[in-house]
Structure 1
Amino acid sequence: MSVDSYLTLPVAALKQAGGYWTAREISQQPQIWRQVTAEHQPRCAALQQFLQPLLATPLLRIILTGAGTSAYIGQALAAHLQQQLQPGQRVEAIATTDLVSNPGLYLDPALPTLLVSYGRSGNSPESVAAVELAEQLVPGCRHLLITCNSQGKLAQFSQQDPERCYLYALPDATHDQSFAMTSSFSSMYLATLLTFAPDNTYLQQLISGAEQLLQHRLAEIKQQAETPCRRMVFLGSGPLQAIAREAALKYLELTSGQILSHYESPLGFRHGPKSLVDAGTQVLVLQSSDAYTSRYDLDLLAELQRDQKALRLDRLSEQQLLGSSSLPDAWLGLLLILWCQALACFKSMQLGISPDNPCPGGQVNRVVQGVTLYPYVKA
């Protein structure tokens, strides 16, 4: 069945504006999440056969790694996944860009390690280098490779030693064609939850909420995007701080750096970053679904309202989107990032920028280029 519009915008207009793929990939996420869930079921037995011996290992260390947007998956989920582990085991989010530049600081040969690698294309230089360094420095390291490209270098690496590697290849449609990662981010994120912390109730609420957002809230998002800001700030606590970070990156990428974006936690914002708020600053608070945590979110929002310096203040909560507060923040983050992706896409087109290719000069690329990798020799 053909689709004549995405994000309420006609396909012809989106193609003319250079936003077809971005709008399509943002819009497809509820459908893609259903597909990821359906395809997860047949792989469960093999995946658990790979994971269960590891999850029974004392002192197991799980490292969630990726670069840029892919790194933020681990940052959002590490604390949530930690709650699923045995005492003495730990989950850490360490970007490939840190692992590659400082492997001796982050890779411990004495600890049994599962490296969970995220990659849209699976071809970024740091993605490949991180798994190779783990192989070099951590004897017997295991690898869970979550990628949107079954033909990429990460996927190829999994074939070298099937006993120690598991390839979690997502549907081809998650391999975003646009510059910025949208459905690839959320699909790898969801695959991680389904693997380590599945909950069908949360999943159904999430998908239903995303469908409702795309059907009924886009006019509100577009109106937010029409605010003539010079700076954009996203604030979130706990897992939602990483979602705020990803939202800020999407906004920066899709506006080609014309509008500076920033992220922080509501409590951390007072410790210096609040200095950037002026009459050209728009702020969006991603409110936690946790009653305790959200008090800090609302306190900061009230303070900014009293200051009367910001151009615009908004908050986004599960209560507003779903009429309830039952989703843990690790699940709620997927719903909030969908809003922020649409916000960035609308803003990009309002500025006359192509969301699909916001940097036509090639200074920043869809798959990172220009990285020189050096052999690591421990001093």
Structure 2
Amino acid sequence: MATEVRTVLGSCRTGFEIAQQPRVWRDVAGVVEGRRGDLDRFLADALADPACVVVLAGAGTSSFIGELVAHPLARRLARTVTAVPTTDVVSAPHAALPVDRPVLLVSFARSGDSPESVAAVELADRLTSTVRHLVITCNPDGDLARRCGSRDDAFVLVLPPESNDEGFAMTSSFTGMALATLLAFGVDVDVEQLAVAGEAVLAGVEPAVAALIAQRPRRLIYLGSGALKGLAHESALKCLELTAGRIFAVGDASMAFRHGPKSTLDADTVAVVYLSNDEYTRAYDLDIARELSAAIGRERVVVVDGAGEADVPAVTWRVPGVATQADAAWALPAIVFAQTLALAASLDEGLSPDNPFPGGEVNRVVQGVVIHPLTANKGS
């Protein structure tokens, strides 16, 4: 079926939430700046011990925020920063948490009502030698925000209400929480430049997406290196969520893709490669883009580029004005491309993007999770 893609961003709540992101980023910057003094005091105390480890935790899309921002945070703080899904913290806490060192647990939560979010905080309290909590959430009334809001060892940063997506998939919440984290820890980010870039992407994304949807892809591959691996993972998840799994999607690191996942390629595949702004890393992204162009055809390979026109036989989608931004920052306007592609694919499949699972098989806030009691403090 042919979808009139030029109307997708205005077709539903999810499209509106994709399109509002540049405005939300400006508002997020204002929220962080407004709490700058209290936030700096909390972080200075939490990170006073040089042995303190920063653990970035969330589930699903929220876990990919950690993947995206871990690299620039580690460089900024000159200490260990790890991204660990809350699902790992809950299911294997002794393996996921550094129990013998002080921990700053940064919890990402759109709603703050998923059972894993609360359980991860409780397990960190129980198992780590010393822990403080930074909660970055879009919902002031969520269970996580309420539980941590009155604690002396916790800081709750609530983002603007618009970031709390009403649609099924996380869009504004993903980019809003990622930006808030970079700003909170003092990573150099030009927010206005990102917002302008996001507006430019929105202005031209729908015709580009229409050309890809016209190819009727049944598989989507997203690849990126370093921080952009987290972007690739989130891009693939958006497609899986909004198409209810009808279009198979994989996210991976550019170099790792050759080690088995490349077997997913077939004649109905479209591949998207995010090109790093780092010159050294970018060379590896370009290598896989050229390899994919030879394997499935240049018209089925898209390179998303923030540094300049890429010398590669593929469709080039440019994110303008972000050549000097870190990969984790320019990923925010870049994800607009993947979000819009997933939205258009969902509509093309005859689904409702705001609720692609009307039978309740998958839910906006995860259901069916049983938190089992931890009966011993030792484990593998």
TM-score, L = length of structure 2:
0.92
Letter paired with 1:360: P
1:35 aligns with 2:24: no
2:255 match: secondary structure? helix
- The alpha-carbon deviation at position 324 of structure 1 amounts to 5.8
Larger displacement relative to structure 2 (65-74 or 54-63):
54-63
Aligned length: 363
For each residue in 1:256-276, what CA deviation from the matched residue of structure 2 results, as whole angstroms up to 9, or x when unmatched? 111110111221111111111
1:150 aligns with 2:140: yes
Letter paired with 2:176: S
Letter paired with 1:361: G
Could you list the structure 1 runs, at least 4 aligned residues long, displaced by more than 6 angstroms after superposition: none
Once the two structures are superposed, the pairs formed by residues 346-357 of structure 1 within 5 Å of their partners are 346-357=344-355
Unpaired segments ≥5 residues, structure 1: 1-6, 15-19
Counterpart-to-counterpart distance in 2, 1:160 and 1:138? 20
Counterpart-to-counterpart distance in 1, 2:8 and 2:248? 29
Q: 1:310 to 1:125 in 2, by over 3 A?
A: farther
8 Å CA contact 1:282, 1:310 repeated in 2: no
For each residue in 1:221-263, what CA deviation from the matched residue of structure 2 results, as whole angstroms up to 9, or x when unmatched? 2322332111110111111111000000000110111111011
Once the two structures are superposed, the pairs formed by residues 11-22 of structure 1 within 5 Å of their partners are 14=11, 20-22=12-14
Once the two structures are superposed, the pairs formed by residues 238-253 of structure 1 within 5 Å of their partners are 238-253=226-241
Q: Residue in 2 aligned with 1:293? A: 281
1:330 aligns with 2:333: no
Letter paired with 1:368: V
1:117 match: secondary structure? strand
Letter paired with 1:76: L
Question: What RMSD over aligned residues (CA atoms) do the two structures have, in Å?
Answer: 1.7
Q: 1:110 to 1:172 in 2, by over 3 A?
A: same
Q: Residue in 1 aligned with 2:361? A: 363
Letter paired with 2:157: Y
Q: Residue in 2 aligned with 1:345? A: 343
Percent pairwise identity: 43
Q: Residue in 2 aligned with 1:260? A: 248
Counterpart-to-counterpart distance in 2, 1:160 and 1:108? 25
Q: 1:357 to 1:66 in 2, by over 3 A?
A: same
Counterpart-to-counterpart distance in 1, 2:128 and 2:33? 31
8 Å CA contact 2:62, 2:174 repeated in 1: yes
- The alpha-carbon deviation at position 140 of structure 1 amounts to 3.4
User: In structure 2, which of residues 88, 105, 111 is the aligned counterpart of residue 98 of structure 1?
Assistant: 88
User: In structure 1, which of residues 75, 81, 84 is the aligned counterpart of residue 67 of structure 2?
Assistant: 75
Once the two structures are superposed, the pairs formed by residues 76-225 of structure 1 within 5 Å of their partners are 76-86=68-78, 89-161=79-151, 163-200=152-189, 202-225=190-213
Letter paired with 2:371: L
Counterpart-to-counterpart distance in 2, 1:9 and 1:203? 27
- The alpha-carbon deviation at position 10 of structure 1 amounts to 8.0
8 Å CA contact 1:26, 1:342 repeated in 2: yes
Unpaired segments ≥5 residues, structure 2: 309-317
